[in-house]
């Protein structure tokens, strides 16, 4: 339902310029390098407001070299997917959560507001136009990258007077399978991904660019990702670009699935929310948003109270964690094999919804 109180572009005004030559699709799904035939662009300026949305052939942008997204990182993005179901219908998964997160990031970046449902309808049209790119398999999908940048052509650090919202699409293979190797994480409190009062709960490019240096140090230590810690008590916050879950017997002897609370330093993941909603509905164990520290994890590991740990995100869905290097120790996380698993049960229920095998109001038909 459109919210008429927000000055916004309207999907009904969409202008469509189809590409005269279609690209050949790659044989393998290599993430983020080959994009589909079309893109969506929507321009905004303080004087003219939002322009009509445009779907046009994928191509380069032309930006003023002084543009403030390039100098001060005034920009943000989203990540979501379209799945082709067994019934050949295309579905998005809880897309309004992405739209709402994008609106929050826009507000924090001083970029203009827009009507989230109008953007979703424009994205739906873009995916529909490039629907041949949505893989015909249950193990891949079409990745959707909405992006919003300041195009302010001046070096003053100020609220942008012009901006460009655009959406590009590429194919994505599956990150998750039952054979998935468990992740190794490197935890060192000397680096911080996000802090209270900062922008860790927004999907702004700066959060990711800043994380790269630590990521390469993790690789030097033989690990795949950084386990981001926070504060004097080394709170566990996120793993790489994933939310994190601990399945354990907690201090009160209760079986619990725990993930850190949304206190401003955690990205409010769509997968995180879905895992919380799903496991709360099952009612099989306590499901909690709570602080978890490395101290608590280490003592639970010593007492063999940890069942498993995993990361969650749109890219991988669920990724089991196998080791953590912390304060010179290599902590072995009991990693579930194919049979036990909470992770495979969650992955199955979520993919059944995404690929339309289980009807759900979490899906949005393209």
Ligand X SMILES: Cc1ncc(COP(=O)(O)O)c(C=O)c1O
Q: Could you list the residues that contact ligand X (CB under 6 A)?
A: 79, 238, 241-243, 267, 269-272, 312-314
Q: What span, in angstroms and rounded, lies between the C-alpha atoms of 32 and 168? A: 10
Q: What span, in angstroms and rounded, lies between the C-alpha atoms of 96 and 188? A: 35
62: left (phi over 0), alpha (psi -120 to 50) or beta: beta
Least Å from the CB of residue 168 to ligand X: 16
Residue 111 phi, psi (nearest 5):
-95, 160
Which residue's Cβ lies closest to ligand X?
A: 269
- Cβ proximity to ligand X: between 152 and 238 the closer is 238
Least Å from the CB of residue 29 to ligand X: 18
- For 303-354, where are the alpha helices, taking DSSP H only? 342-354
Angle between helices 270-282 and 95-108 (to 10 degrees): 130
3-state secondary structure at position 147: strand
Q: What is the CB-side half-sphere exposure of residue 6 using CA atoms within 13 A?
A: 17
Q: What span, in angstroms and rounded, lies between the C-alpha atoms of 258 and 244? A: 8
Least Å from the CB of residue 256 to ligand X: 21
Least Å from the CB of residue 218 to ligand X: 15
- Cβ proximity to ligand X: between 8 and 207 the closer is 207
Q: How many residues does the chain have?
A: 366
- Cβ proximity to ligand X: between 9 and 83 the closer is 83
DSSP 8-state code for residue 197: T
Least Å from the CB of residue 362 to ligand X: 13
- Cβ proximity to ligand X: between 325 and 350 the closer is 350
- Cβ proximity to ligand X: between 38 and 272 the closer is 272
Least Å from the CB of residue 311 to ligand X: 8
Least Å from the CB of residue 270 to ligand X: 4
- Cβ proximity to ligand X: between 57 and 175 the closer is 175
Distances (CA, A) of 38 to 16, 41, 209, 324: 10, 10, 27, 42
- Cβ proximity to ligand X: between 38 and 94 the closer is 94
Q: Which residues contact 31 (CB under 8 A, 6 or more apart)?
A: 143, 170, 171, 172, 173
């Amino acid at each position: 339902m459109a919210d008429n109180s927000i000055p916004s572009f309207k999907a009904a005004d969409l202008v469509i310029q189809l590409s005269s030559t279609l690209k050949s699709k790659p044989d393998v799904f290599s993430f983020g390098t080959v994009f589909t035939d079309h893109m969506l662009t929507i321009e905004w300026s303080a004087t003219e407001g939002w322009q009509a949305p445009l779907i046009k052939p994928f191509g380069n942008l032309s930006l003023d070299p002084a543009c403030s997204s390039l100098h001060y990182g005034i920009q943000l993005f989203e990540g979501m997917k379209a799945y082709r179901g067994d019934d050949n219908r295309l579905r998005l998964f809880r897309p309004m959560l992405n739209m709402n997160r994008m609106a929050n990031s826009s507000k924090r970046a001083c970029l203009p507001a827009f009507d989230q449902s109008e953007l979703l309808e424009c994205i739906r049209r873009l995916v529909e136009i490039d629907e041949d790119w949505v893989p015909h398999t249950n193990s891949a999908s079409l990745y959707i990258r909405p992006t919003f940048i300041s195009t302010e052509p001046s070096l003053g650090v100020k609220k942008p007077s012009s901006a460009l919202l655009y959406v590009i699409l590429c194919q994505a293979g599956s990150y998750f399978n039952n054979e998935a190797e468990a992740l190794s994480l490197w935890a060192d409190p000397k680096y911080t991904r996000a802090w209270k009062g900062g922008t860790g709960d927004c999907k702004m490019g700066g959060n990711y660019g800043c994380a790269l240096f630590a990521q390469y140090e993790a690789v030097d230590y033989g690990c795949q990702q950084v386990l981001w810690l926070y504060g004097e008590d080394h709170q566990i916050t996120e793993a790489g670009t994933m939310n994190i879950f601990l399945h354990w017997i907690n201090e009160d002897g209760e079986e619990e699935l725990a993930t850190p609370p949304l206190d401003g330093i955690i990205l409010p993941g769509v997968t995180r929310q879905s895992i919380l909603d799903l496991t709360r509905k099952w009612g099989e164990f306590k499901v909690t948003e709570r602080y978890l520290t490395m101290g608590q994890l280490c003592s639970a590991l010593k007492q063999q109270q940890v069942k498993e740990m995993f990361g969650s995100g749109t890219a991988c869905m669920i990724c089991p964690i196998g080791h953590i290097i912390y304060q010179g120790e290599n902590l072995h996380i009991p990693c579930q094999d194919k049979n036990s698993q909470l992770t495979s049960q969650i992955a199955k229920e979520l993919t059944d919804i995404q690929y339309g095998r289980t009807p759900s109001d979490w899906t949005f038909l393209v």
